[in-house]
Amino acid sequence: MKIVGTSKPRVDGAAKVTGQARYADDLALPRMLHARILRSPHAHARIVAIDLAPARATPGVLAAIVGEDLPVAYGILPWTEDEYPLAIGRALYVGDGVAAVAAIDERTAIAACAAVRVEWEKLPAVLSPAEALAHPEIKVNEHAKDGNVSKQVDLSFGPVDENLERAAAVIEGEFHFEGTTHAALEPHCAVASWEPRGELTVWSSTQVPHYLHRALAKVLQLPEDRIRVVQPAVGGAFGGKSEPFDLEFCAAKLSMLTGRPVKIRYTREEVFYAHRGRHPMHMRFRTAADAEGKLLAVDSSILIDGGAHSSFGLVTTYYSGQLLGAPYELPAYRFHSTRVFTNKPACGPKRGHGSVQPRFAIECQLDELAERLEIDPIELRRRNAMGSDETTINGQRVGSNGFLQCLDAVERASGWKEKFGKLPRGRGLGVAGSTYISGTAYPIYPNEMPQSGVSVKLDRSGQVLVTSGVSEIGQGVETVLAYIAVEELGCELAAVRVITGDTLLCPVDLGAYSSRVTFMAGTAAIEACRAMRAHLVEAAAKALECDPSEIELAGGRASARGRELSFREVARLAESAKGTLVTAGGYRTRKVGGEYRGGSIGASPAYSFTAHVAEVSVDERSGVVTVENIWVAHDCGRALHPIHVMGQMEGSAYMGFGEALMESHTFHANGLHRGPSLLDYKLPTTLDTPAVHASIVEANEPGGPYGAKEVGEGPLHPSIPAIANAIHDAVGIRLRALPFSPDRVRAALLAKGGG
């Protein structure tokens, strides 16, 4: 390989570290207005009357709108379009938008929002799934078919009851995950500009420009061919920007009304209300094994708190069970998952969508099984590893599989054999494993078109332009696309420019979610670059009077038989011979998944694998848990850019560690968020963060670009259970509710009679 497998500085790195990258909030257009969204202070309330006159009368205000001005429902999934840009009739949670005001500056917009008179009729609110199910008459979401049930999934594979019956050990337990949010550094921001020809441009901090494009057309009732969505540099997303939000519609509508560009930027508090973070889940699990520790069955029942809207919840409900079939060979399992609407901000996808919570439960139960059967926890996982080229009981085709190497790597690196069960009291080690998808099998809206498109343009300057609608959200896709151009065309990295996230200039890509980007856009880029390469090879062979197979393209040169041409000369020859040089590639959906309703969810063209070992110390007097080390090994197939891969592994481990020990997206009984700020919502600081030791495992995937699979989300999954299991090794308690805060740890120690 020429560049794949090396770690060059990322193509957008210098701009980001010098402050020159342009984020949405850096954009300022001539005559631009600023808008604010007035939000509900109540968890559930009827809007009896709303009077915009005082806002409109505020000097400097140019337009104000309410829910009825944008009456078309939307939703990221076409089956559950159940939200409006601004509340119509009822506000469903604290922070639900009810009006928007555009003014000459932000302070004026804020003052005008405060002047809006809303007459509220407070309604009873339901704040937990149990409450919501007990009170179907308090209907949160009018689109729900049955009371407050958002989605219910019952799937069963293999002889679950028989296997439970014949098991040597069955572990039963209830686990509770209270919910966390993404907390990306950049708050959401959008700028919209309605232009005189009847064209709308929206710049937004989104990770799904294409879906935003479609939603804007639907809600604003504009033809799709008049809308352009541009995604500027994004300061982190983690799933929190993977669907349309109120600010994009409101900025667009207010721009259409005023004929001037309009910017809306969230406060940090508004980011907490936009949320779409990890769902709270209450999980009952039974995990059964034979006397040798071979898994026989898993039986789970999960109650999911969805908040007020569906978001991706239909998929979340499936994911809560569909990804349990690997990395262990599981002959039988079933899950019964119910997602419920509540009067809180909607939950959605966060790094490791829907599967981080059940992974916590099952990996803790594997640890309990190992203890019960007196088998080393790593050995128990080894005995159950499914291996490569297998199909899970729920019909998912697993290709390459480096899980065993991952277990070996963390076992070795952590000194497991010397330390597990042998450290002084108060210190312990825990292990956990996981798998994750490299993209979903199917697009969010059914269609036969490519999921990812990439175009390559080359001209006589020797400059290569790669474009794709894919989203750079910090994961490094622009660098990956540039790498592929260098690998295939032999140009220098500096000669490649990449444009992403612009629905006008770039071929369609569905966005940065479900760890699909490198796999799908990378595959499309290879196809586009190879088509371009064919032109170059042909032109070079002609000039160098040799067979095309003899041409080597590398280092900014074409060479054969000791003669060479510069890349620029080759480009000129090719453009002379072939005319304008533009090529394209696309990733097309491959048929995968089980033949049953929901069988495509969790089905992916490739699966990544991860193992963690965490080392903790527990202060038994205070209950404070300190994570000392996390060893993480991840099979991402071929590591295209090893430093990026390790960055994703470290970032994932960090994020999971924060969720394990500190983070809690929770609410007071009146529906007010307990801490909608980065002071009160506890994210670990650098001082809190353990040493994270990353080892890359490369089980190359034949279907992936140069053998690559995902790394953005998978490595998070084992974080929480590895820490839980390490706490058990340290002090002998099993924690089943997150986060593992000192009060809970201390209470568990006292209950056990220690401490």
Partner 1 sequence: MLPLPSCAVSFPETIEQALELLSRPGARVVAGGTDLLPNLKRGLGRPSALVSLARLSGLDAVARDEHELRVGARVTLAELARSSLLPASVRYAASLIASPQIRNVATIGGNLLLDTRCVYVNQSPLWREGLGHCLKADGTECHVVPTGKRCVAAASADLPPILVALGASVRVASKDGVRTIPVERLFSNDGAAPIALGPAELLVEVVIPRAPGTSSAYRKLRVRKAIDFPLLGVAVAVDAEGGLVRALRVVASCIGATPRKVSGLDSIAVGKPLDDATIEAVAERCHGALHPQTNIAADVGWRRAMIPLLVTEALHDVRDAVRTRGGDDGTA
- Which residues contribute to the site for partner 1 (CB under 8 A)? 25, 39, 41-43, 94-95, 106-107, 110, 114, 187, 265, 267-269, 621-623, 662, 670-676, 679-680, 682, 684-688, 741-743, 746-747
Indicate the residue among 125 and 385 with the shorter CB distance to partner 1. Answer: 125
Find the shortest distance in angstroms from Cβ 177 to partner 1.
Answer: 18
Find the shortest distance in angstroms from Cβ 656 to partner 1.
Answer: 17
Backbone angles phi, psi at 258, to 5 degrees: -100, -20
Q: How far is CA 182 from the centre of its chain?
A: 9
Indicate the residue among 221 and 670 with the shorter CB distance to partner 1. Answer: 670
Give the number of other CB atoms < 10 A from CB of residue 737: 14
DSSP 8-state class, residue 77? S
Check: CB of residue 410 under 8 Å from CB of residue 388. no
Structure tokens, 339 = 């997602």
Find the shortest distance in angstroms from Cβ 26 to partner 1.
Answer: 12
Check: CB of residue 487 under 8 Å from CB of residue 640. no
Find the shortest distance in angstroms from Cβ 683 to partner 1.
Answer: 8
Indicate the residue among 344 and 557 with the shorter CB distance to partner 1. Answer: 344
Measured CA angle at 698 (ends 467, 430), to 5 deg:
115
Indicate the residue among 27 and 554 with the shorter CB distance to partner 1. Answer: 27
DSSP 8-state class, residue 87? -
Q: Is the dihedral of CA 106, 108, 111, 113 positive or negative?
A: negative
Check: CB of residue 596 under 8 Å from CB of residue 396. no
Check: CB of residue 254 under 8 Å from CB of residue 176. no
Distance between CA atoms of residues 487 and 225, nearest Å: 35
Q: Is the dihedral of CA 657, 658, 661, 665 positive or negative?
A: negative
The β-bridge relationship of strands 149-157 and 333-341 is antiparallel
Element containing residue 274 per DSSP (H, E) = helix 268-274
Give the number of other CB atoms < 10 A from CB of residue 743: 9
C-alpha closest to that of 276 among 215, 207, 219, 213: 207
Check: CB of residue 530 under 8 Å from CB of residue 537. no
Find the shortest distance in angstroms from Cβ 183 to partner 1.
Answer: 14
Indicate the residue among 49 and 687 with the shorter CB distance to partner 1. Answer: 687
Indicate the residue among 39 and 351 with the shorter CB distance to partner 1. Answer: 39
Which residues partner with 39 through β-bridges? 97
Find the shortest distance in angstroms from Cβ 48 to partner 1.
Answer: 17
Which residues partner with 99 through β-bridges? 38, 66
Find the shortest distance in angstroms from Cβ 549 to partner 1.
Answer: 59
Indicate the residue among 96 and 713 with the shorter CB distance to partner 1. Answer: 96
Indicate the residue among 110 and 168 with the shorter CB distance to partner 1. Answer: 110
Indicate the residue among 99 and 315 with the shorter CB distance to partner 1. Answer: 99
Decide: helix, strand or coil at residue 742: helix
Amino acid letter, 304? I
Find the shortest distance in angstroms from Cβ 74 to partner 1.
Answer: 24
Indicate the residue among 18 and 686 with the shorter CB distance to partner 1. Answer: 686
Find the shortest distance in angstroms from Cβ 685 to partner 1.
Answer: 5
Indicate the residue among 189 and 592 with the shorter CB distance to partner 1. Answer: 189
Structure tokens, 146 = 């049955």
Indicate the residue among 566 and 622 with the shorter CB distance to partner 1. Answer: 622
Find the shortest distance in angstroms from Cβ 111 to partner 1.
Answer: 9
DSSP 8-state class, residue 630? E
Indicate the residue among 541 and 747 with the shorter CB distance to partner 1. Answer: 747
DSSP for 54-115 reads HHHTSTTEEEEEEGGGS---B-SSTT---B-SS-SSEE-STT-EEEEEEESSHHHHHHHHHH
Backbone angles phi, psi at 562, to 5 degrees: 75, 0
DSSP 8-state class, residue 464? E
Per-residue H/E/C for 159-185: CHHHHHHCCCEEEEEEEEECCECCCCC
Structure tokens, 709 = 């699979």
Distance between CA atoms of residues 573 and 381, nearest Å: 58
Find the shortest distance in angstroms from Cβ 710 to partner 1.
Answer: 31
Structure tokens, 283 = 């999980």
Find the shortest distance in angstroms from Cβ 519 to partner 1.
Answer: 36
Find the shortest distance in angstroms from Cβ 245 to partner 1.
Answer: 16
Indicate the residue among 191 and 536 with the shorter CB distance to partner 1. Answer: 191
DSSP 8-state class, residue 696? E
Find the shortest distance in angstroms from Cβ 492 to partner 1.
Answer: 40
Find the shortest distance in angstroms from Cβ 628 to partner 1.
Answer: 14
Find the shortest distance in angstroms from Cβ 743 to partner 1.
Answer: 3
Ordered alpha helix ranges (H), 344-415: 356-373, 377-384, 403-414
Find the shortest distance in angstroms from Cβ 678 to partner 1.
Answer: 9
Distance between CA atoms of residues 373 and 293, nearest Å: 7
First CA to last CA across the chain, in angstroms? 57
Indicate the residue among 25 and 248 with the shorter CB distance to partner 1. Answer: 25
C-alpha closest to that of 243 among 321, 179, 180, 182: 182
Question: Which parts of 224-309 are beta strand (E)?
Answer: 227-230, 262-265, 281-289, 295-307
Indicate the residue among 320 and 719 with the shorter CB distance to partner 1. Answer: 719
Indicate the residue among 87 and 410 with the shorter CB distance to partner 1. Answer: 87
Find the shortest distance in angstroms from Cβ 174 to partner 1.
Answer: 20
Which residues partner with 467 through β-bridges? 455, 499
Q: In what order do the strands lie in the sheet with 90-91?
A: 90-91, 45-51, 117-122
Contacts of 698 (CB under 8 A, 6+ apart): 402, 635, 636, 637, 638, 639, 707
Indicate the residue among 31 and 107 with the shorter CB distance to partner 1. Answer: 107
Distance between CA atoms of residues 608 and 669, nearest Å: 40
